[in-house]
Amino acid sequence: MKKNSVLAEEVVRLLKKKKLTLASAESITGGALAAALTDIAGSSEVFLGGIVAYSDPAKTKFLHVAKRILTKHTAVSEEVARTMAESARAEFKSDYAISTTGVAGPGKAYGQKAGTVWIAIAGKGETVVISLALSGDRAAVRHATIESALATFARILIP
């Protein structure tokens, strides 16, 4: 994740400066967001951990995403991204949590085309959710998801 290192370094630096903690809940990125953060020396001071919930049953069991939400909205939705982030924040007792869910491709999943991505950032009192329509192959979509999640979170941390 060399290209993410500058953003990950900035996020870790900001978290340390503000004495805040972070957790992650990942689906589309399969743990690569956590890997980008833990590649940074000293990140253990601020990154508490992550949950990779790639399947719907894992999202239900480990991140408390209700089956009715998955049935009604699918795993690639604002509602699921929001629940994943809020649950990770609660589970790790962190100040913030970032979640990623979407379709990396190739092809469609859950009726959504490749490149459809949802990112949520849960914090004290508010959860910010963004949607992305990315292009490229599977690796490019996953990389852009991580980069977007880190950049969005950095903007939240900088007043």
Asked whether the predicted pLDDT for residue 107 surpasses 90, the reply is no
**DSSP assignment of 25-58, as one string?**
EESTTTTHHHHHHHTSTTGGGTEEEEEE--SHHH
Which pLDDT score is estimated for 38? 97
Q: pTM of this prediction?
A: 0.94
Q: What angle separates helix 78-92 from helix 56-63, to the nearest 10 degrees?
A: 40
Encode pLDDT of 127-137 as tens digits. Answer: 999 999 999 99
Query: Would you identify the CATH topology of the domain 2-157?
Result: Maf protein (3.90.950)
Contacts of 38 (CB under 8 A, 6+ apart): 44, 47
Domain ranges for the chain: 2-157
- pLDDT of residue 1 exceeding 50, the answer is no
Look at residue 16 and tell me whether its pLDDT is greater than 90.
Answer: yes
Q: Which is higher by pLDDT, 70 or 114? A: 70
Instruction: Provide the pLDDT for residue 121.
Output: 98
**pLDDT per residue over 70-101, tens digit each?**
999 999 999 999 999 999 999 999 999 999 99
Q: What is the DSSP letter of 108?
A: -
